[in-house]
Amino acid sequence: MRKLLAANWKMHLYADTAQALAQQLRHHWQEKGWQNLPTVIFPPLLYLREIANILKHSSIQVGAQNAYPGEFGAFTGEVSVAQVSASGGAWLIVGHSERRQYFAEKAPLLQRKLLDAQHRGLKVIYCIGETLEERRCGETLNVLRQQILEVLQGVSVAWNQLAIAYEPVWAIGTGINATPDQAQEAHAFIRQLLTELGAPASHIPILYGGSLKPENAHELFRQPDIDGGLVGGASLQANSFAAIAAALWDK
């Protein structure tokens, strides 16, 4: 199954609202019989364990929006991949544009995070995407190529523990989504690139992210190479996240 739907809660919600949202989603997924729709929630790390407990006997998995490679160490303020895993996390987001932009994360660190997470049994969503300026200069595909190659080339990636998220930076949190054609072009390019790297690309989920919402989910998911979504803002309400799930279920 190539479909995958992910909720990136970012730095939102308190413990009680986070728990309530997880409970609503669990009920909704059960009610709709969506146990075969691979779904993962990325809550703030502080709530990871309790959200994982709420979702334990459901089909929804949880993951970390960020983690530091390794097990223990003198890295004040960090939480390790091993700690995430021990707290019930099954996934890690690597390379989100907000980490690249605000926390200056570069390819060597992203590669360490990705490989360490996979080594410890986690699955990874590796995020890539161009800025508005890069798109305007006609650099989109070059940027995507570079972001893929600098992290995934020449190392032993566990392809069956990987998903890619194409998230144009100009579409994240702006209300402006990529058109289905723009997204399809990028997704097909990414799949081709993965094939060139020797990956079983037809089995790797490639998600779209960037102002994905119920109003545009159907037409985006209709594209042949869009296998799901990484949802930010619209994942903070059970109704809108469920509507996006319904669109993916129908694909």
Is 211 one of the binding residues for ligand PGA (CB under 6 A)?
yes
Task: Answer for the pair 82, 62: CB distance below 8 angstroms, yes or no.
Answer: no
DSSP string, 85-119: HHTT--EEEE--HHHHHHS---HHHHHHHHHHHHH
Is 205 one of the binding residues for ligand PGA (CB under 6 A)?
no
Max Cα–Cα distance, the chain, nearest Å: 48
User: Which of helix, strand or coil describes residue 167?
Assistant: coil
- By CB under 6 A, the residues from 133 to 192 that bind ligand PGA are 167, 172-173
Number of residues that bind ligand PGA (CB under 6 A): 13
The contact mask relative to ligand PGA for 230-249 (x = CB under 6 A, - = no) is xxxxx---------------
Query: How far, in Å, CA of 29 to CA of 197, rounded?
Result: 36
Candidates 8, 66, 184, 240; binder of ligand PGA (CB under 6 A) is 8
Is 5 one of the binding residues for ligand PGA (CB under 6 A)?
no
Judged by beta carbon, residue 120 or residue 228, the one nearer ligand PGA is: 228
Is 210 one of the binding residues for ligand PGA (CB under 6 A)?
yes
User: Which of helix, strand or coil describes residue 54?
Assistant: helix
- Residues of this chain that interact with ligand PGA (CB under 6 A) are 8, 167, 172-173, 209-212, 230-234
